[in-house]
Amino acid sequence: MNEQEIRALVREAIARQAAAAPHGAPAAGSLQASGLRFHPSHGLFMVPTGSDADGPCIIEPAVTCNHCGYCKSYGH
């Protein structure tokens, strides 16, 4: 395959995707339009204050909070 044939295949694939997009689809260039989506495991929880100041760690209360954020996520 030469470069022109590859470009034609890419254009055809883009045209198919654009034709299949429902009305109200994400704008071109948006994260969802590009196929990137945020996984729920990347969200953060609202944690009670204590980790906001220099209080004890919520997960390991014997030590001072070092603001690692582990308590605000699923940990992975």
- Per-residue pLDDT of 18-45, as tens digits, reads 776 565 555 555 555 555 566 777 778 8
- Domain ranges for the chain, please list them: 1-37, 38-76
67 to each of 3, 33, 62, how far by Cα in Å?
Answer: 51, 34, 15
Look at the pTM and tell me if it is higher than 0.75: no
Question: Which residues lie below 8 Å from residue 64, measured CB to CB, with a gap of 6+?
Answer: 54, 55, 56, 57
User: How many helices (H) and strands (E) would you count in the chain?
Assistant: 1, 0
**Pair 57, 71: CB distance under 8 Å:** yes
Top-confidence residue, 2 or 27: 2
